[in-house]
Structure 1
Amino acid sequence: MRFRSVIAVLAATVALPVGAGYATDLEVTHWWTSGGEAAAVGELAKAFDATGNKWVDGAIAGAGGTARPIMVSRITGGDPMGATQFNHGRQAEELVQEGLMRDLTDVAERGNWKEIIRPASLLESCTIDGKIYCAPVNIHSWQWLWLSNDAFEKAGVPVPKNWGELVAAAPALEKAGIVPLAVGGQPWQANGAFDVLILALAGKDTFLQVFGEKNADVAAGPEMAKVFKAADDARRMSKGTNVQDWNQATNMVITGKAGGQIMGDWAQGEFQLAGLKAGEDYSCLPGLGVNEVIATGGDAFYFPLLEDEAKSKAQEALAETLVDPKAQVAFNLKKGSLPVRGDVDLAAANDCMKKGLDILAKGDVIQWTDQLLSADSQKQKEDLFSEFFANPSMTPDDAQKRFVEIIATAD
């Protein structure tokens, strides 16, 4: 809890926050660079600046696949930032094992994080050898299909209620000059879309057998063959997207140039920034309208170990700020994600966000691949599905065989 103390400065009495003697600039790196993301980051910066410190923004364009190697290189190269975003899971595991990241256990215990952060798996993903190394800021779920109501009206077909109806509507969309499914060219987008197809179409048990147990036999089986067929449908429907960044693909849905997009709930921030209303201008289908289960992945901030005492104090202030109730509400409403605390007021949530909250309340949740696979295994998957979506000559059977090899050696 913050409180104020009185000190005399140049014969004047001025009230300052505790730790103001240590107040300093703190560089914070992240990959939130789209319009909606920037608006959300601004809420965190404003809350942190209110502690007397200053958020120095270190945004790196290109999403996680581009930004993470830069962040890791700086930390291992002796030029650490004050704090950095990763997805909570195993992305910072090696940095922690090398002794390069700060232990936040004391901060977490003071803030009673184990009692307020829900689900518990979020904090568990920040915990290595019993110590807490990151502060979760949101619950981001990949498992959404975003649809342009205008695009389907123009094509003369109803807005789909599930994945199968989108596939069936694709010819009508194409006839109207609309790309049925927008998939940007960044490798992580194709990789994430495939993982969503697995959970939605093959189900939770198959998903966990493949990624949790690393069961190569299941990966080679008939249920996964159905998923690769669906990925082939997605590849065909995405022809003509011709954009690179995820938010450019989202903008195609916003403007009615594409019928839909498989993308995480962070896409909500772009729809909101464009002034579109959930349920009226666009529709959202959790679990692709087939299997309403969402992942409890998301974003967290890690803090490189620093020798500077002022910056170390500022790190503590930032960690506390990130889980503060007001900051949680302000940030997540603009980000489109769900808060990591269950004790905050989200009356202002839109229809899509309420769907996610309902699923979370029912406990229909699962750990995502960032939490179940090492960064190396994830990269191998990215390479495979990036090639699959870019190369029509790769058959679903060929892709499945390569996928089985990845799962057989995954860690």
Structure 2
Amino acid sequence: MKLTTKLMALTAIVSASSASAVELEVMHWWTSGGEAAAVAKFAEAWDATGNTWVDGAIAGGGDTARPIMVSRIIGGDPPAAFQFNHGRQAEELIEAGLLLDLTDVAEAEGWADIVNPSNLLDACTVDGRIYCAPVNIHSWQWMWLSNGAYEKAGVPVPTSWTEFAASADALVAAGITPLAMGGQSWQQNGAFGVMSVALAGTDAWLAVNRDKNAEVAGGPEYARVFEAFGAARELSAGLNVQDWNQATAAVINDTAGAQIMGDWAQGEFAVAGEVAGEDYSCLPGLGEVAVLSTGGDAFYFPVVDDAEITAAQKELAALLLSPPVQVSFNSAKGSLPIRGDVDLTTVNECTQKGLDLLAAGNLLPDGAALLSPDTVTQLNDLMTEFWNTPSMTPAEVQEQYAAIIADAD
């Protein structure tokens, strides 16, 4: 087995070695074309150590996958590892003592020095102990635009949300749906969050999401966002798709002008052979605010009564953050690596925009790191109700939104 010097030292910390081949079942919800290509990089790296990655992909996204994963864990049949987002999703599992403490791995590998921004490691830390391995930086703060659709419509590719809204009539006249939106509630609530940052501003967004300020949520800054969200609902009419990658495909196929979606959409563009700056364009902060949110994915490892499996879990955790794996995975995923000491000279112009914002410190925490899963579920339900109920006015949904924020934890 190929182990780095640090990993060899690490195996001395734990009571057993994974010198013999170990199969680890890894559960995740990366099932689209771009996502599958990315997770294959993890599998290839793990298999190259002489161990075996047993893929436990669950279709349907995180809302479908998380309950299944939790059920497996509390039911006594846990996988060896599983993907969650950065944030508060694993709090109860950690409190119940069901997840492996990775502090020794983090210290041996120097994660405190390499994970950037540091809040990603903070999101893995409870009472001073580290329980997950962050693997990427994903940001919701993007709009992706089809250059071909705008060429067909005979208008320039927009450089802001304001210009996009103004271009909608030309797209419709050319038979193109202006805004691609899937039918899942997390997509609609996620797009609303992006619009909130862009149109209400970062201070108002932090007041609502971090400080739980219901007055701001019900005030004039957010009224502008809800009016724009209502307009966005109209701009998506005519495109009936469910999954986020189906909406991305409409942009790739030039049947939709744009999509508000996280940078994981780049994996779909890459699989389709699309080139950033030529076939598609990207607007961080909808072109209104130069900012990047720092969400993403992390892997957790359930506690098991098997020293060999435990040692292999810790080896895998270290491998996921190693430089070559960080480069190969994130290049395929469309995300940014969580370590700044890797060579990214070959990234495309959209990824470079993200790196520039990261370097400049133009960052916001991810909303999921500030709001409890229960609050996020309530907001998902509210936004999808609004999106699918044309008679519901922006003022009505804002009133209900402010009430949820008032009770948020």
Scaled to the shorter chain, the TM-score interval is over 0.9
Corresponding position of 1:405: 403
1:174 alignment partner, SS class: helix
2:87 alignment partner, SS class: coil
Structure-to-structure mapping, 1:301-312, within 5 angstroms: 301-312=299-310
Contact 2:25 2:79 in 1 (8 A): yes
1:108 alignment partner, SS class: helix
1:169 to 167, 170, 173: 167
Corresponding position of 2:226: 228
Q: Percent identity?
A: 62
For 2:87, the aligned partner's letter is: G
Corresponding position of 2:105: 107
Corresponding position of 2:385: 387
C-alpha distance in 2, partners of 1:159/1:30?
35
Corresponding position of 2:295: 297
Contact 2:182 2:247 in 1 (8 A): yes
| TM-score normalised according to structure 2 size | 0.96
2:41 to 40, 43, 52: 43
Contact 1:35 1:273 in 2 (8 A): yes
C-alpha distance in 2, partners of 1:310/1:168?
60
For 1:187, the aligned partner's letter is: S
Offset at 1:53?
1.4
2:31 alignment partner, SS class: coil
For 1:259, the aligned partner's letter is: G
For 1:343, the aligned partner's letter is: D
C-alpha distance in 2, partners of 1:215/1:303?
35
1:59 to 54, 57, 61: 57
Structure-to-structure mapping, 1:16-31, within 5 angstroms: 19-31=17-29
Structure-to-structure mapping, 1:9-408, within 5 angstroms: 19-408=17-406
C-alpha distance in 2, partners of 1:203/1:76?
41
Structure 1 residues 21 and 395 mapped into 2: Cα distance closer, same or farther (>3 Å)? same
C-alpha distance in 2, partners of 1:145/1:88?
22
Offset at 1:250?
0.1
Offset at 1:21?
3.5
For 2:318, the aligned partner's letter is: E
Structure 1 residues 302 and 20 mapped into 2: Cα distance closer, same or farther (>3 Å)? closer
Contact 1:145 1:261 in 2 (8 A): yes
Contact 1:22 1:314 in 2 (8 A): no
C-alpha distance in 1, partners of 2:399/2:67?
28
Contact 1:187 1:383 in 2 (8 A): yes
Offset at 1:48?
1.1
Corresponding position of 1:12: none
| TM-score normalised according to structure 1 size | 0.95
Offset at 1:131?
0.5
1:198 alignment partner, SS class: helix
The Cα offsets for residues 182-233 of structure 1, whole Å up to 9 and x where unpaired, read as 0000111001000000111111111110010001111110000000011011
C-alpha distance in 2, partners of 1:95/1:20?
25
Long gaps (5+) in structure 1: 5-17
The Cα offsets for residues 138-172 of structure 1, whole Å up to 9 and x where unpaired, read as 00000000000010111111110100111111111
For 2:198, the aligned partner's letter is: A
Corresponding position of 1:7: none
Which contiguous aligned blocks of 4+ residues in structure 1 show a shift greater than 2 angstroms?
18-23
Corresponding position of 1:10: none
Offset at 1:310?
1.8
C-alpha distance in 2, partners of 1:164/1:320?
44
For 1:72, the aligned partner's letter is: V
Give the RMSD, CA atoms, in angstroms.
1.2
C-alpha distance in 2, partners of 1:158/1:72?
47
C-alpha distance in 1, partners of 2:242/2:109?
41
C-alpha distance in 2, partners of 1:238/1:366?
27
C-alpha distance in 1, partners of 2:4/2:77?
33
1:279 alignment partner, SS class: coil
Structure 1 residues 364 and 3 mapped into 2: Cα distance closer, same or farther (>3 Å)? closer
1:194 alignment partner, SS class: helix
Number of residue-to-residue matches in the alignment: 398
C-alpha distance in 2, partners of 1:79/1:61?
20
C-alpha distance in 2, partners of 1:373/1:20?
38
Contact 1:147 1:282 in 2 (8 A): yes
The Cα offsets for residues 271-320 of structure 1, whole Å up to 9 and x where unpaired, read as 11111110011000000000011111100001111112221111011101
